[in-house]
């Protein structure tokens, strides 16, 4: 999330974001492969991910806080590109990130958007068995 915030607010490129991330205490314990894949996925597909998200948002994209935008982009990327992670896990992680870093009721907003997006990207997971 921090890396995407640097991108969305500060306009930093992937190299600068990775350099900064590597200097953060504890980063060595992160799943580096997933971090790199999500960062690259969001930076490369930001416009396409935004197109997927916007129909589920009742205000202009530019009015969504950078924290919530970043979290939504990460979650949409993971829903789209990482089927090995169950959609409920992705949504829960997004909610927890938003509770920690977003606005007061931002987690409710993020949850609502992702609850609408998940069936679109993961219809096989939502079908009754």
Predicted structure pTM score: 0.91
What pLDDT is recorded for position 111?
Answer: 97
Total domain count, the chain: 1
CA distance linking residue 74 with residue 67, whole number of Å: 11
CA distance linking residue 80 with residue 9, whole number of Å: 24
What pLDDT is recorded for position 128?
Answer: 59
CB neighbour list of residue 106: distance below 8 Å, 6 or more residues apart: 65, 67, 68, 98, 99
As a whole number of Å, the CA-based R_g of the chain is 14
For residue 1, the Cα-to-chain-centroid distance in whole angstroms is 7
Q: Which helix (H) or strand (E) holds 95?
A: helix 87-101
Which CATH number fits the domain that encloses residue 73?
1.10.940.10
The pLDDT averaged over each successive group of 10 residues in the chain (129 residues) is: 84 88 87 90 95 96 95 97 95 96 93 96 79
The beta-carbon contacts of 87-94 under 8 Å, at least 24 apart in sequence, are 87/118, 87/121, 87/122, 87/125, 87/126, 90/114, 91/115, 91/118
**Residue range of the domain that includes 64:** 2-126
The distance between the two most distant Cα atoms of the chain, rounded to a whole number of Å, is 46
What pLDDT is recorded for position 66?
Answer: 94
């Amino acid at each position: 999330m921090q890396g995407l915030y640097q991108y969305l607010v500060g306009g930093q490129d992937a190299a600068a974001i990775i350099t900064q991330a590597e200097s953060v205490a504890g980063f060595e314990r992160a799943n580096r492969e997933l971090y790199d894949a999500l960062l690259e996925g969001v930076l490369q597909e930001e416009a396409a991910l935004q197109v997927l998200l916007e129909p589920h948002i009742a205000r202009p994209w530019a009015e969504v806080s950078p924290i919530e935008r970043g979290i939504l982009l990460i979650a949409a990327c993971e829903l789209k590109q990482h089927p090995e992670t169950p959609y409920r896990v992705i949504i829960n992680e997004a909610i927890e990130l938003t509770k920690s870093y977003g606005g007061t009721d931002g987690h409710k907003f993020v949850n609502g958007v992702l609850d609408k997006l998940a069936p679109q990207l993961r219809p096989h997971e939502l079908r009754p068995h």
